[in-house]
Structure 1
Amino acid sequence: MSAARGRVVVVTGGTRGIGLGLAREFLARGARVVICGRSAASVEAALTQLRAGDRATGLPTDVSDRASVQALWDHAMATFGRVDVWVNNAGISTERVPLLATDMVKFDEVFSINVNGVVNGCAVAGQGMTSQPGGGWIWNMEGLGSNGQIQPGIAVYGASKRAVNYLTEALVKETKGTDVKIGFLSPGIVVTDLLVGDYGNDPEGFAKAKKIFNILGDKVETVTPFLADGVLKASKSGARVAWLTGPKAAKRFLTAGFTKRDLFQDT
């Protein structure tokens, strides 16, 4: 807990899923937390769940809008006086469809949140951290596609995450020698509404995918403690905190016949 005590952490998209789980874990380790979501109602509901009193606050934020993200930074500063860690977690996906059948409205929406939102968060947090003593950390969330993996049906989401990976690597180089440090967060396959929603129009595909998800996937409450600890312990810019590593995935497949898991029984 001492590693986080008193530190201020902003988590975008912190009202549900991995974001809410991260907020909860940072609070459990003594940090003060700022979250954002798309609506005031979602922010208030999340703060009620967190039950952290004056150690947690939030603001409705459109991460695709630079001014809205700046307002989130300003709110954090007005409330806690500084920001030590900024996590660009907010992200959306679409139902699985071939690229050539993708609705351009959906395409624009995914990139405006997943890519523009990350750029806005990095720019606002980076400028703010440059102006405060001690600088700070910016962490960007990876996802399927970040490392070049290709899967049919999720070209738009995968391309957005590949873009985030490139942008993050560029930021590591551009901030070298400064007090602003950059990190990669890789949660692996986590059972959230985002994951399930990808298969909203493909129940048969979901039935098949569940077999792999139950081998390689995990729940939010399993993954987020590991991610939070990794963020708080990191010391060198360019650090990657990855839950589902290659060796871990290989072990899961080797033991799949002996370990029965159903991560979707409550979904």
Structure 2
Amino acid sequence: MSGARSIVITGGTRGLGLGLARSLVALGHRVTVCGTDPDRVAAAEAELGVPALVADVTDRARVQDLWDEAVRRHGRVDIWVNNAGISHHRLPLWRLPAGEARAVVEVNLLGTVNGCAVAAAGMAGQGGGHIWNMEGLGSDGRTVPGLGVYGATKRAVTYLTGALAKEAPDGVTAGLLSPGMVVTDLLTYGYSEAERERAGRIFAILADPVEVVAPWLAERLVSRARNGAHVRRLTAAKIAYRFAKAPFVRRP
């Protein structure tokens, strides 16, 4: 893809989503975002000068409203990014409260299903477009004790994206964005102080701030929007290199 694009980002009022919106606006693209916190939505709209809606991705009608507003303001949607996601307290499955488990499944998986369904149908009607889904811990099948529900949703999103790439309407493509470890509140959510201290040693080597990850990802989510695309920031080779250099490199 080349030229300015109309791009929708769910969960685009905080963390990596907001960072992506900032980077894409700086590149000259027309961005629309949503979030669930009215104050954050208003702040994003004021800062970025973009359409911002209060929308819960677990409600398909509200996701449709997001699509409709982006089309009303920008004429079409070229790229849709299913970024909205939440985590849960770091607890074994049988100790995780039912409501908390349900919320994670609904936002991370059902929310992505809703975004894919609305975007695919709308893009079919306009003659094409690209859908990106966001990977996370668990996408590669690796298990981490205490994060079973979160990891299961991300594993499911990876499968869902592969299926969508095969069954999407003509002209509609789908792919995966894998940002690696990003320093946001999602990364450390649910950790005790002791767990956060232990994990901090790994984060210091592998995690990058939003200000580093977002511009890198923003450029590629536009330039690599093709069917079955898989954009990975933190590859196995990069991980090995960072650990090898860790004793000699001081990271912020």
TM range (shorter): over 0.9
Contact 1:76 1:83 in 2 (8 A): yes
Amino acid at match of 2:167: E
Which runs of structure 1 show a deviation greater than 4 angstroms over 4 or more consecutive aligned residues?
none
Q: Which residue of 2 aligns with 1:130?
A: 124
Following TM superposition, by how much is the alpha carbon of 1:102 offset from its aligned partner in structure 2, in angstroms?
1.0
Match of residue 239 from structure 1: 229
Letter in 1 for 2:149: V
State how far apart, in whole Å, the 2-side matches of 1:145 and 1:223 are.
20
User: How big is the shift at 1:195?
Assistant: 1.2
- Greater displacement, 229-238 / 155-164: 229-238
Residue 251 (structure 1) aligned to one of 224, 241, 252: 241
- Structure 2: state its 5+ residue gaps: none
- Please name the residue that 1:12 is paired with: 10
Which residue of the partner structure matches residue 101 of structure 1? Answer: 95
* Pair 1:192 & 2:184 matched: yes
Measure, in 2, the Cα distance between the counterparts of 1:144 and 1:235: 23
Please state how far the C-alpha of 1:4 moved relative to its aligned partner: 4.2
Matches within 5 A, 1:163-242: 163-175=156-168, 178-199=170-191, 202-242=192-232
Could you say which residue in structure 2 is the equivalent of 1:146? 139
Segments of structure 1 that go 5 or more residues without pairing to the other structure are: 263-267
In 1, are the aligned partners of 2:82 and 2:133 still within 8 Å (CA)? Answer: yes
Q: Normalization by structure 2: what TM-score?
A: 0.97
Supply the RMSD in Å over aligned alpha carbons: 1.3
Deviations 1:126-147 (A, max 9, x none): 00000003x1000000000001
Could you report, residue by residue, the CA deviation over 1:72-131 in whole angstroms, capped at 9, with x for unpaired residues? Answer: 111111111100000000000011011111111001000110000000000000000000
Give the 3 Å change call, closer, same or farther, for CA 242–173 of structure 1 in structure 2.
Answer: same
Q: CA deviation at 1:197?
A: 1.8
CA contact (8 A) 1:4 1:232 kept: no
- Kept in 2, the 8 Å contact 1:15–1:42? The answer is yes
C-alpha separation between the residues in 1 aligned to 2:3 and 2:148? 37
* Partners of 1:4 and 1:29 within 8 A in 2: no
Q: Deviations over 1:228-263 (max 9, x none)?
A: 11111115300011110111110000000001224x
2 CA distance for matches of 1:211 and 1:79? Answer: 45
Query: Aligned residue pairs: how many?
Result: 252
Query: In the alignment, does 2:39 pair up with 1:41?
Result: yes
